Amino acid sequence: MVRRHELTDGAWARIAPLLPARPERGGRWRDHRQVLNGIVWKIRTGADWRDVPDRYGPWQTIYQRFRRWSADGTFARILEHVQVHDDAIGQVDWSVICVDSTIVRAHQHAASARKGGSGKGRTGSNQPRPIRADKALGRSRGGLTTRIHLAADGRGLPLAFVLTGGNVNDCTRFTAVMEAIRIPRPDPGRPRTRPAHVIADKGYGSRAIRTHLRRRRIGATIPERADQPAGRARRGHRRHAFDPIRYKRRNVVERCFNRLKHFTGIATRYDKLAAHYRSAVTIACLLLWLR
């Protein structure tokens, strides 16, 4: 019987051949499906590793395998394989891609906060400790946050994402998100990277982004900010074309974020390492593709 928060038989059948083989030497080897279900349970609930139920095996085994597969890119390769399969049978909607970002509050454990949450250093200074850029954490009025920049296809399934600190502006990572879209073809040929059209909100309405899309011959539906039309008129330029009917399709990326945040371990960041949180988001994206 498949319990709640566990892989279905159909989902397991698709990804089982992609997992690392059992080593030839060694002691007892915990079943991959059992361990992976424990990882999924942890991300779904946001619980501590030590609280993973015993039916999934020792928590140390589950955590070590999660850490190993995060380091060697196993989760990313499985997600790519599922995307390649769906693209090969024509299920990926390349007619439009929607780009947006969402803020995730970081738990104090994610930033190694000291007991009491004061954030003071060893000297007792009231100055907050600096946050390393590679942790994908940013300090803002709401505290420490992480921002997920994501591109979803026309069905609302995640194609690629980039993690930054929560204080990073959306438009500064647009190019990085677009460059992360890369689905190899099953036969020889260059990977698919270019949609027919991009939809985004006015936060992406900069000249650099519009120029980038125009050079790649990608259509754009991005509203202008309130100050932009007057400035363009003073320079004698036309207003950018905008299709309000097509813009309504932007809600697919909002629905994608909504489904991702059903995972408590995604809606709140508990992972100290950005690599581990990136793997957790990758697993959540994979489960959306396997539905």
pLDDT at position 109, please? Answer: 79
pLDDT at position 116, please? Answer: 42
Between CA 201 and CA 79, with CA 173 as vertex, the angle to 5 degrees is: 95
Fold of the domain spanning 94-111+131-270: Nucleotidyltransferase; domain 5 (3.30.420)
pLDDT at position 141, please? Answer: 76
Q: Is 277 exposed, middle or buried (0-12, 13-18, 19+ CB in 10 A)?
A: buried
Low-confidence ranges of the chain (pLDDT < 50): 113-124
pLDDT at position 23, please? Answer: 66
pLDDT at position 241, please? Answer: 73
Read off the pTM: 0.88
Could you tell me if 137 and 163 are in contact, meaning their C-beta atoms sit under 8 angstroms apart? no
Q: Is 48 helix (H, G, I), strand (E, B) or coil?
A: coil
